[in-house]
Every structure is written in structure tokens, then in C-alpha cells.
Chains A and B, each alone.
Chain A
Amino acid sequence: MSKKWYYVLAILLVACSWIGNVWYYEANQLGSTVFLAHHVETSDREGHVFDLYYIEDKRADKTLSTIRIEGYPEQIVTPYPKYAEYQRQYLGKMMVNLNNPARGQGVAEELLKEPVLVREITALYSDGTSEQVDVGEIYIWPGTYNEVKPVEWTSVGSSSDHSGYNSAVIKRPLQLTAFSSKFLDIAEEEGALQIYADIPGQVLGISYRPLPSELQMEQSGMPIQEIQLPAKMNQGDSFRISHQFNMPSREKSMQVYQLMLRTTFTEEGQGTWQEDTIIPYHPSPTDKEMTAYVRERRKGL
């Protein structure tokens, strides 16, 4: 009787270990490649890049090899399949350079008014299969270049807390007339993003006061919604745009944002100029957050 008890106990222990471990393992697997939701504005000009993020199980049989965006034959895609490693998954990214030749000042006016919207891309996998996948919304503006720009960008910085800044110097007198982006609603409605502009005359410009600390510098100026436009700017003035993302929920924090904040200047007798400032946010979840995301995705499937 006692010997049989040992055998039953041994079989039970082995069975529990196998069933428990396999169940826990399966509960934490995505099962397929999952692209994060993207809200990206970019330019198709050569040299301009944006990243598409995806998550894959470490032990996936089929992995993403590359992606393709239709309509851009010269595109260059650089894969980073193990951009960040987690216990059971990899966060990968595809760096995309659409690589269209830049258009000069003769670019058609209507082309500059509305960007191309891409929602689906072609994903190509290691087993030779491919599929169309929804990646969110990618607005692609036509790339242009100006040879005699009235604004010169002098420095750029970013921090791991999802903040950053771009500084510029005004080379010729002009007026700042507008800030625009397809995703300004996340700043206005949801409060997930604060964008500040430091413009002489609106607030005490940075050239007129002692330099603040790095943290204060990041958020100097006024929220762009409160700036009175048009704002006059003189030659030699400093101009700074800074931002800070504060995602209100885990769902939001696992989405990818890249705003191309378009600042429009008017120069007397020269027409208008547009300067683009890239404001990026990419998720950097902890292991715990990644596990929670995977489980939520599985529930949603």
C-alpha cells in the first residue's frame, strides 16, 4: 500500500509540474507577431526615418523578417528584431526610410496640404509567408527642402522620461503664424502630451535670463495652445520647442507616437516657410507591463 502511495505521489508531482508550467507558459505567449498601434507623422524624404514597433514571442516558430509600405519603391527598411528583450518576448522595431528624393520649392501646393495616410503594411515572415497588417495611422508628408531657411536649428535633446527639446536661432526677421500636427488632439484633449514653445516677447526668452537647470529647460516657455499668434521674431532671437509625454493609461503607454510639429513662419516679401520638429514617443515597458500587455492581447483575441 505504501509503495503504491509513493508512485501515485510521484506521478502527481510530475503531472502537476508539467500541466502547471505548460499552462503558465501558454498563458504568457502572444502566439503571433503583434504590431503596436502607431500614430506617426513623417516625411518621405530620403534620410527621414521612423520606427514601427512589434512584439514577438521568443520561441515563435514564425518571425517577422521585414516589412514593406506600398508606393515607395526606394524604401530602406532596417530590422532590429531584438530591440529590447523581455522574459518571454522581444520588442522589435523596423526602422523605415521611405527614401523619396526631396522636392524643391516648386512642389505643388495641394501636395503640401494633405499627407498620404497609410494604415496597413505588408509584413513578410521568416517562413516565406506575408500578410497585410494594421499598424495604426502613418501620415506621410512629401519631403521638401529649402536652401535659404530663415531658421537654423542649433541643438536637440531627449530624455528617457519621454521629454525632449529642439532649439533654433532666427536668421531673418519673421512672424510665427501657426503650429500644426495631425496628432495635436492628444495634447489638447487627453493631456498625454505637453508641448511648450519659448518665444521672445511671449515669455521671458532664454537669451534674457540665466540658464535654468536641465530639467527646467526641458519644459521652458508656454504651452503652444496659449501662445498668441502671430508672434513677431527678430534676427538673432532664440526659439525653443520642448515636450513631455505623460501617458495616462497602460493602453496609451503601449502605443507609438511621432508627431511632426509643423511651425509656419511668414517672412515679409518672401512668403511662408515651414519647419518640422519631430516629437517622438516609443514604449519602453517593464517586464511586468509587457506580461500584462500580452495577457490583455490574449483576452482580446
Chain B
Amino acid sequence: MRRAWYRILWGLLFVLIDLKVEMVDMLPDMLGYLLIASGLWRLQRLNGYFRLGHLSAWLLLVWSAASLFWFPEVAMGSVHMQSVKNLFILLPAVLLHTALIYGICRGIQAHYTGTESELDRKARFRLHLFMAGQLLLLILYPFMLNLDSGDMMSVIFICSLLVMVAEITVLFLVRSAGGEWNE
């Protein structure tokens, strides 16, 4: 079971880091979602939150594969946000990713509630941090359509940074959960 946690950890790392060489992502998101899905497949029997995360991971895997063929500019990460079409292409991925992190964090929180470890408290705080950043991003994204794109880009960048920091703390949370797992 511990391997499942580490798959999730590696999967999140693949999704978080975009290491591109000549426009090719060396750590493709698709592989990341596959690792997360396979990890959560083992954990989903523990509680419903992991099941939600598992389902989200599979849907994100499908979305990543589909966008590679239908919207290659999205898959390459070069999409311009100042059009309604592009915003709506990205919206499902943002929502599913939110559901994935929610599922992982709430799953850990539920599983470790009542144990001596403080993982439930840590999971709760990190989820709040992530959700706050993600909520801000979701509210601000559509303003890209109407406000000066230069100003908005800097605001979006700051919010993205907040979300990234929150996701890094979730990575450490998953590592701790894997470390504390008792077979």
C-alpha cells in the first residue's frame, strides 16, 4: 500500500513540474495522472474522498490525452487566455484538478482523524491554502477577457505561485502519509 502513496507523490510531481526540452514535456502530465490514478485505485476503498480523487485522476488523464489531439496548443502550454474558447477549454481541467487535490487532502484528513499523527490537521490546513488560491484563480481567470492583459497576467502569476506553494505542501503531506502508513 505504501507504494500507492509514492505513486501519487511522483504523479503530483510530474503534473506540477513542466520540464520542456524543445517544446516536449519530459515529465508529461498524462503519465503523472496515470501514476496518481493507479495510486488512488489502491486507496479508494479507504474512504469516498479517495474515490473522488481516483475518478478525477482518470478524467484528467482522458482530458490530457484528448487535448493533445484536439487542442495541441493547450497541451503544449502555449494557450492564450484572452479568448472565451480557450478559457472554457481549460476550465474542466482546473475543476478536475481541484477535485483531485480535494479528494487527496480530505481522504488523508478522514483516514488519519483520531490518530496520534497530526496529518489530519496538516491536511486540513493545506487543503484550505490550496482551495483559497484555486478559488482566487477561478474568480480572476475570466477577467483576462476584459481587463488589461499585462496587469492581469501579473495578478494571475501571483495567484498561481500561491497555488504552486500549496501543491508543494500537499506533496510533502502525501510523503508523510506514505511514511506513516502502517501495513
Residues of A bordering B, CB below 8 Å:
10, 13-14, 17-18, 20-22, 24-26, 28, 58-59
A28 to B145: give the CA distance in the assembly, Å.
11
Q: Are A17 and B145 in touch, CB under 8 angstroms?
A: no
Return the chain B residue nearest A19 by Cβ: B142
Q: Are B84 and A22 in touch, CB under 8 angstroms?
A: yes
A59 to B142: give the CA distance in the assembly, Å.
15
Q: Are B143 and A17 in touch, CB under 8 angstroms?
A: yes
Return the chain B residue nearest A14 by Cβ: B138
Closest approach, in angstroms, between the C-beta of A38 and any C-beta of chain B? 30
For B, the interface residue count at a CB cutoff of 8 angstroms equals: 15
Q: Are A25 and B135 in touch, CB under 8 angstroms?
A: no
Q: Which residues of chain A have C-beta atoms less than 8 A from B21's C-beta?
A: none
Closest approach, in angstroms, between the C-beta of A171 and any C-beta of chain B? 56
Q: Which residues of chain B have C-beta atoms less than 8 A from A26's C-beta?
A: 84
Q: Are B146 and A59 in touch, CB under 8 angstroms?
A: no
Return the chain A residue nearest B143 by Cβ: A21
Q: Main SS of chain A's interface residues?
A: helix
Q: Given A21-B145, A21-B146, A25-B146: A59 and B139 within 8 A (CB)?
A: no
Q: Are B139 and A13 in touch, CB under 8 angstroms?
A: yes
Q: Are A13 and B84 in touch, CB under 8 angstroms?
A: no
Return the chain B residue nearest A16 by Cβ: B139
Q: Main SS of chain B's interface residues?
A: helix
Asked whether any CB of chain A lies closer than 8 Å to the CB of B83, the reply is yes
Residues 66-82 of chain B: 1 if any A CB is under 8 Å from the residue's CB, otherwise 0? 00000000000000101
Q: Are A59 and B135 in touch, CB under 8 angstroms?
A: no
A24 to B142: give the CA distance in the assembly, Å.
10
The 5 closest A-B pairs by CB, nearest first: A21-B142, A25-B145, A59-B83, A17-B139, A14-B138
Q: Given A59-B82, A59-B83: A22 and B135 within 8 A (CB)?
A: no
Residues 87-115 of chain B: 1 if any A CB is under 8 Å from the residue's CB, otherwise 0? 10001000000000000000000000000
Knowing that A22-B142, A59-B80 touch, tell me 18 more A-B residue pairs with CB under 8 angstroms. Answer: A10-B135, A13-B135, A13-B139, A14-B135, A14-B138, A14-B139, A17-B140, A17-B142, A17-B143, A18-B142, A21-B143, A21-B145, A21-B146, A24-B145, A24-B146, A25-B84, A25-B145, A58-B82
Q: Which residues of chain A have C-beta atoms less than 8 A from B146's C-beta?
A: 21, 24-25, 28
Interface residues of B in 137-175 (CB under 8 A from A): 138-143, 145-146
The contact sample of 21 A-B pairs, CB cut-off 8 A, is: A13-B135, A14-B138, A17-B138, A17-B139, A17-B140, A17-B141, A17-B142, A17-B143, A18-B91, A20-B142, A21-B142, A21-B145, A21-B146, A22-B87, A22-B142, A22-B145, A24-B145, A25-B84, A25-B146, A58-B82, A59-B80
Q: Which residues of chain A have C-beta atoms less than 8 A from B141's C-beta?
A: 17-18
